[in-house]
Chain A
Amino acid sequence: MRKIGVFVCHCGSNIAATVDVKKVVELALQEQGVVHAEDYPYMCSEAGQVRIAEAIKENKLEGIVVCSCSPRMHEATFRKCAERNGLNPYLVEIANIREHCSWIHKDMAEATEKAVILMRAAVAKVHLNAPLQAGESAVTKRALVIGGGIAGIQTAIDIADAGYKVDIVEKEPSIGGRMSQLDKTFPTLDCSACILTPKMVEAAAHENITIHTWSEVEKVSGFVGNFTVDIRKKARYVDMDKCTGCGICQEKCPSKKPLNEFNRGLNTRSAIYTPFAQAIPNVPVIDANACIKLNTGKCGICEKFCQAGAIDYTQKDEIITEQYGAIVVATGFDTIKLDKYGEYAYNESKDVITSLELERIMNAAGPTKGHLERLSDGKAPKEIVFIQCVGSRCSDDRGKPYCSKICCMYTAKHAMLIRDKYPDTNVTVFYIDVRTPGKNFDEFYRRAVEDYGVNYVKGQVGKVAPQPDGSLMVHGVDLLENKQILKKADMVVLATAIEPNPDVRKIATMLTASIDTNNFLTEAHPKLRPVESPTAGVFLSGVCQGPKDIPETVAQAGAAAVKVIGLLAKDKLKTNPCTAKADELRCNGCSQCANVCPYGAISYETRQVNDHGIREDRRIAVVNSALCQGCGACTVTCPSGAMDLQGFSNRQIIAEVDAICR
Chain B
Amino acid sequence: MKYSYFPGCTLRNKAKDLDDYARACAEKLGFSLEELTDWQCCGGVYPLGADEIASKLPSVRALNAAKKKGQDLVAVCSACYHVLKRVNDDMANVADIQTRANNYMQLDTPYTGETKVLHYLEVLWDVVGFDKLKEAVVNPLTGRKVGAYYGCLLLRPSSVMAFDDPENPTILEDFIRALGAEPVMYPYRNECCGGYISIKEQEKAAGLCKKITDSAEGFQADCLVTACPLCKYNLSKNSNLPIVYFTELLAEALGIKEAQE
Residues of A participating in the B interface, judged by any CB pair closer than 8 Å: 340-343, 345, 347-348, 463-469, 473
What are the nearest 3 A-B pairs in CB distance? A342-B168, A342-B167, A468-B218
Residue B187 at the A interface, CB < 8 A? yes
Q: What's the nearest-Cβ distance from chain A to residue B161, in Å?
A: 15
Smallest CB-CB separation from B191: which chain A residue? A463
Interface residue ranges of B158-193 to A (CB < 8 Å): 165-168, 185, 187-188, 191
Chain A residues near B218: list those with CB within 8 A: 467-469
Chain A residues near B215: list those with CB within 8 A: 465, 467-468
The answer to whether A466 and B187 touch across the interface, beta carbons within 8 angstroms, is yes
Chain B residues near A465: list those with CB within 8 A: 187-188, 215
Residue B196 at the A interface, CB < 8 A? no
Smallest CB-CB separation from A473: which chain B residue? B187
Chain A residues near B191: list those with CB within 8 A: 463
In the bound complex, CA of A644 to CA of B117 (Å) = 58
Chain B residues near A463: list those with CB within 8 A: 187, 191
Q: What's the nearest-Cβ distance from chain B to residue A474, in Å?
A: 11
The answer to whether A342 and B185 touch across the interface, beta carbons within 8 angstroms, is no
How would residues 213 to 224 of chain B score, 1 for a CB under 8 Å from any chain A CB and 0 otherwise? Answer: 001001100000
Q: How large is the interface on B (under 10, 10 to 19, 20 to 34, 35 or more residues)?
A: 10 to 19
Question: Which of A347, A348, A469 is packed against the most chain B CB atoms within 10 Å?
Answer: A348
In the bound complex, CA of A340 to CA of B165 (Å) = 8
Name 22 A/B residue pairs within 8 A (Cβ), A-sorted.
Answer: A340-B165, A340-B167, A342-B165, A342-B166, A342-B168, A343-B167, A343-B168, A345-B187, A347-B168, A348-B185, A348-B187, A463-B191, A465-B215, A466-B187, A467-B187, A467-B215, A467-B218, A468-B215, A468-B218, A468-B219, A469-B218, A473-B187
Q: What's the nearest-Cβ distance from chain A to residue B145, in Å?
A: 13
In the bound complex, CA of A114 to CA of B249 (Å) = 73
Smallest CB-CB separation from B220: which chain A residue? A468
Q: What's the nearest-Cβ distance from chain B to residue A391, in Å?
A: 13
Question: Which of A342, A343, A345, A463 is packed against the most chain B CB atoms within 10 Å?
Answer: A342
Question: Which of B168, B188, B215 is packed against the most chain A CB atoms within 10 Å?
Answer: B168
Q: What's the nearest-Cβ distance from chain B to residue A397, in Å?
A: 10
In the bound complex, CA of A656 to CA of B219 (Å) = 76
In the bound complex, CA of A468 to CA of B218 (Å) = 5
In the bound complex, CA of A640 to CA of B17 (Å) = 77
In the bound complex, CA of A342 to CA of B190 (Å) = 11
In the bound complex, CA of A468 to CA of B165 (Å) = 23
In the bound complex, CA of A347 to CA of B219 (Å) = 17
Chain A residues near B185: list those with CB within 8 A: 348
Q: What's the nearest-Cβ distance from chain B to residue A496, in Å?
A: 16
Interface residue ranges of B218-253 to A (CB < 8 Å): 218-219
In the bound complex, CA of A464 to CA of B168 (Å) = 12
In the bound complex, CA of A347 to CA of B187 (Å) = 12
Question: Which of B185, B187, B215 is packed against the most chain A CB atoms within 10 Å?
Answer: B187
In the bound complex, CA of A347 to CA of B218 (Å) = 19
Chain B residues near A468: list those with CB within 8 A: 215, 218-219
Chain A residues near B165: list those with CB within 8 A: 340, 342
Smallest CB-CB separation from B187: which chain A residue? A465
Smallest CB-CB separation from A463: which chain B residue? B187
Given contacts A342-B166, A467-B215, A468-B218, 12 further A-B contacts (CB under 8 A): A340-B167, A341-B167, A342-B167, A343-B167, A345-B187, A348-B185, A463-B187, A463-B191, A464-B187, A465-B215, A466-B187, A468-B219
In the bound complex, CA of A342 to CA of B167 (Å) = 5
Q: What's the nearest-Cβ distance from chain A to residue B104, in Å?
A: 34
Chain B residues near A469: list those with CB within 8 A: 218
Q: What's the nearest-Cβ distance from chain B to residue A345, in Å?
A: 7
Smallest CB-CB separation from B167: which chain A residue? A342
In the bound complex, CA of A464 to CA of B218 (Å) = 16
In the bound complex, CA of A467 to CA of B211 (Å) = 11
Q: What's the nearest-Cβ distance from chain B to residue A376, in Å?
A: 15
Q: What's the nearest-Cβ distance from chain A to residue B151, in Å?
A: 15
Chain A residues near B188: list those with CB within 8 A: 465
Chain B residues near A342: list those with CB within 8 A: 165-168
Q: What's the nearest-Cβ distance from chain A to residue B258, in Å?
A: 34
Smallest CB-CB separation from A468: which chain B residue? B218
Q: What's the nearest-Cβ distance from chain B to residue A484, in Å?
A: 12
Q: What's the nearest-Cβ distance from chain B to residue A490, in Å?
A: 16
In the bound complex, CA of A341 to CA of B187 (Å) = 13
In the bound complex, CA of A585 to CA of B27 (Å) = 78
Question: Which of A464, A468, A473 is packed against the most chain B CB atoms within 10 Å?
Answer: A468
Chain B residues near A340: list those with CB within 8 A: 165, 167
Chain B residues near A473: list those with CB within 8 A: 187
Smallest CB-CB separation from B168: which chain A residue? A342
Interface residue ranges of B12-62 to A (CB < 8 Å): none
In the bound complex, CA of A463 to CA of B185 (Å) = 15
Chain B residues near A345: list those with CB within 8 A: 187
In the bound complex, CA of A464 to CA of B166 (Å) = 14
Q: What's the nearest-Cβ distance from chain A to residue B21, in Å?
A: 30
Chain A residues near B168: list those with CB within 8 A: 342-343, 347
Q: What's the nearest-Cβ distance from chain A to residue B97, in Å?
A: 24
In the bound complex, CA of A624 to CA of B187 (Å) = 65
Q: What's the nearest-Cβ distance from chain B to residue A517, in Å?
A: 20
In the bound complex, CA of A347 to CA of B215 (Å) = 18
Smallest CB-CB separation from B159: which chain A residue? A396
Q: What's the nearest-Cβ distance from chain A to residue B79, in Å?
A: 23
Smallest CB-CB separation from A469: which chain B residue? B218
Chain B residues near A341: list those with CB within 8 A: 167
Chain B residues near A347: list those with CB within 8 A: 168
In the bound complex, CA of A463 to CA of B219 (Å) = 18
In the bound complex, CA of A603 to CA of B166 (Å) = 57
Q: What's the nearest-Cβ distance from chain A to residue B116, in Å?
A: 24
Q: What's the nearest-Cβ distance from chain A to residue B188, in Å?
A: 6
Chain B residues near A343: list those with CB within 8 A: 167-168
In the bound complex, CA of A46 to CA of B190 (Å) = 69
In the bound complex, CA of A350 to CA of B5 (Å) = 44
Smallest CB-CB separation from B214: which chain A residue? A468
Smallest CB-CB separation from A465: which chain B residue? B187
In the bound complex, CA of A612 to CA of B191 (Å) = 86
In the bound complex, CA of A179 to CA of B165 (Å) = 35
Smallest CB-CB separation from B218: which chain A residue? A468
Smallest CB-CB separation from B217: which chain A residue? A468
Chain B residues near A467: list those with CB within 8 A: 187, 215, 218
In the bound complex, CA of A348 to CA of B187 (Å) = 9
Q: What's the nearest-Cβ distance from chain B to residue A343, in Å?
A: 4
In the bound complex, CA of A258 to CA of B41 (Å) = 57
Chain A residues near B219: list those with CB within 8 A: 468
Smallest CB-CB separation from A397: which chain B residue? B159
Q: What's the nearest-Cβ distance from chain B to residue A529, in Å?
A: 40
Chain A residues near B166: list those with CB within 8 A: 342
